[in-house]
Structure 1
Amino acid sequence: MASEEPVYDPSRTGSWLICSTCGTQFPTSDAQAVKTCFICDDPRQFTPPTGQSFTTLDAVRSSHRNVFYPLPSGPATSSAGQDPDFVSIVTEPKFAIGQRAVLVKTPNGNVLWDCVTLLDEETIERITGLGGLKAIVISHPHYYSAHLEWARAFQCPVYLADEDREWTTQSSSYQSFITEAELDLPVAGESAGVRVLKLGGHFPGSLVLLYKGRLLVADTLITTPAGLGSWEANALGEARERPKGLNSYGFMWSIPNMIPLPPAEMERMWAILNKYSFVSSHGAFVKTDIFGKDGSEVKRRVLESMQIQIRNMGYGDHAMLKESLD
């Protein structure tokens, strides 16, 4: 990294302002300099009824902690255990949006998928014990949080979509902007089998990450309650098939304000995603994990969810409705 890059120093940045609603860090302690969060003023996000407010990393460190949850290796209804290659990191009690970061273990070193605002000594020690970080990849601007605190602490690059560069609140030589639609992510300078796909939609550069058949989707694909439902047994303990016509994912320009993506955007997203195979998907929050019974089920549910949304938006003759995995 460039020699002028500041070293990680929590005493230097601990008083910097952090948006209480989205968790984004601004490089100043001056409340007169930052009176509103431009990310929350965007129509994809929101400012709560109580109005715009800010806190600091020092304050969050005094009241919150990060908890580590191994990712399940299969659905909760099965006897599946934990997948040691994926670990969710969640701030408790919930802070800001409440998303999880996911530590992805590869033979070349660890990759952090998405980010949370809180970084403290306990978290640094825990991640260092797991092998540290070689790279950070963030899905979209709502999760930019305090990513440069993390990058400086672990001295690793943080990958962001080039299309979403305008949403950064700080510039740094640690930031690497992805221009490709499909990237074989370099981990410690070499390929490790980690693919980053720029699907767009929610933001122009919204990303997903694929590793070992697990698709980490954040908010690029919204995991729905119907997608998480289990029909392994009814009230009498009788197994049955998942009812037809249920979606598993939503495709939204704004999640909190419920503004859907147009069919053309879903079609473009599918053209990229259709090239790949995956056996599970993992959303922005803990317990938003969908597992398939075979190598095509989750992918088929993505396509079916797109078709359900397109059809119910009134596009009954759209070309996407003729798509299939057969």
Structure 2
Amino acid sequence: MTSQATRPELTAAQCALCGVETDSPHGTCPVCADERQYLAADGVQRWSSPAEQAARGAAIELKELEPGLWELNTRGHVGVGQQAKLVVTDRGNVLVDVPAYIDGAAIEAVSALGGMAAIVPSHPHMFGVQSAWSAAFDDAPVWVSEPDAGWVTRDFPGLRVWSGELEPVPGVRASQPGGHVPGSSVVHFRGADGAGVLLSGDTIAAVPRAGWVSFMRSFPNRLPLSAGAVRRIAAHVAARYDVERLYDNFQGRVLRGAGEAIASSAERHARWVSGEFDHLTGPV
């Protein structure tokens, strides 16, 4: 692990709105300018860094969700507020999605759980300060989906590109159902009880109603996906994984019957956006 005295991560430039790092802190953040995100209301592009956030009191708290799965909760930070997950296994740990912040205390907390063998951001909005997390753990590989590699704006030694399917450590599998962005990825592993667990990023989002999930091109801007895209996502997951529990990247979760929730929710979504239920929306 890189020593605190030589850590480069605290100076990583990042957008002060979405939190994604960059080598070129000028102009407009391309992640925020895309239709899935949004620019600052006043039109001013601002930049930040973990060091600046630390000076304002930012911190990361690790909390166990279930045996072998931890969440990283950041407070006082920039970014969209994603909740990264750490899958802890006896064959190596995998960070799924990346906080927009890092500090020495967080590095020590992850180290105490066995460190980090690999990082898998589900899509560009979750890149956070991925080069910093990689550097903090001996340039751990950061596996970026090939369709989304063009969104990477900071090169670093641990950067890797993948397509199709990936097993960053034995027993932890990733694949790319797409949808929210072309390379949107999900990560699957087996919990301590043997049940299938899916980390779905923004590909599939849990919603307040029990047993339902959602699929969107843009969550903040409420842009839906088509019937075909949603059915493709559901079929992709069903063909590869048995899923009892699902955790998305914003504290959403389905703790039982998640595979059925994905299938039924996808069909419901597809039928609504296809116009099948337009007679329930008012005069036709």
TM-score of the two chains, using structure 2 as the length reference: 0.88
Match of 1:68, SS state, is strand
Structure 2 distance, partners of 1:307, 1:186, is 31
Counterparts of 1:249-264 in structure 2 under 5 Å? 249-264=213-228
Distance 1:299 1:16, change over 3 A: closer
Asked if residue 312 in structure 1 is aligned to residue 272 in structure 2, the reply is: yes
Distance 1:64 1:179, change over 3 A: same
Matched AA of 1:194: V
Shift of 1:173: 3.3
Structure 2 distance, partners of 1:95, 1:132, is 24
Write the deviation string for residues 153-175 of structure 1: whole angstroms up to 9, x where unpaired.
10210111000001001123311
Distance 1:91 1:59, change over 3 A: same
Write the deviation string for residues 239-281 of structure 1: whole angstroms up to 9, x where unpaired.
xxxxxxxx71111111111111111111221221112201100
Shift of 1:26: 1.6
Shift of 1:139: 0.2
Which runs of at least 4 in structure 1 moved beyond 3 Å after TM superposition?
6-16
1:135/1:158 contact within 8 Å kept = yes
Aligned residues: 267
Structure 2 distance, partners of 1:9, 1:199, is 41
Distance 1:9 1:39, change over 3 A: farther
Counterparts of 1:186-265 in structure 2 under 5 Å? 186-187=168-169, 192-212=170-190, 213-227=196-210, 248-265=212-229
Asked if residue 19 in structure 1 is aligned to residue 15 in structure 2, the reply is: yes
Matched AA of 1:277: D
Equivalence for 2:236? 272
Gaps of 5+ in 2: 191-195, 278-284
Asked if residue 41 in structure 1 is aligned to residue 33 in structure 2, the reply is: yes
TM-score of the two chains, using structure 1 as the length reference: 0.77
Shift of 1:137: 0.6
Matched AA of 1:281: L
Aligned with residue 59 of structure 1, among 33, 42, 52: 52
Shift of 1:42: 0.5
Asked if residue 157 in structure 1 is aligned to residue 141 in structure 2, the reply is: yes
Larger radius of gyration: 1
Matched AA of 1:186: P
Distance 1:10 1:210, change over 3 A: same
Matched AA of 1:24: V
Structure 2 distance, partners of 1:13, 1:215, is 29
Equivalence for 1:125? 108
Matched AA of 1:22: C
2:11/2:51 contact within 8 Å kept = yes
Asked if residue 134 in structure 1 is aligned to residue 134 in structure 2, the reply is: no
Write the deviation string for residues 296-316 of structure 1: whole angstroms up to 9, x where unpaired.
x22111111111111111354
1:197/1:209 contact within 8 Å kept = yes
Structure 1 distance, partners of 2:17, 2:6, is 22
Shift of 1:95: 3.2
Gaps of 5+ in 1: 1-5, 72-82, 228-246, 318-326
Shift of 1:177: 1.0
Aligned with residue 177 of structure 1, among 131, 153, 161: 161
Shift of 1:106: 1.1
Distance 1:9 1:172, change over 3 A: farther
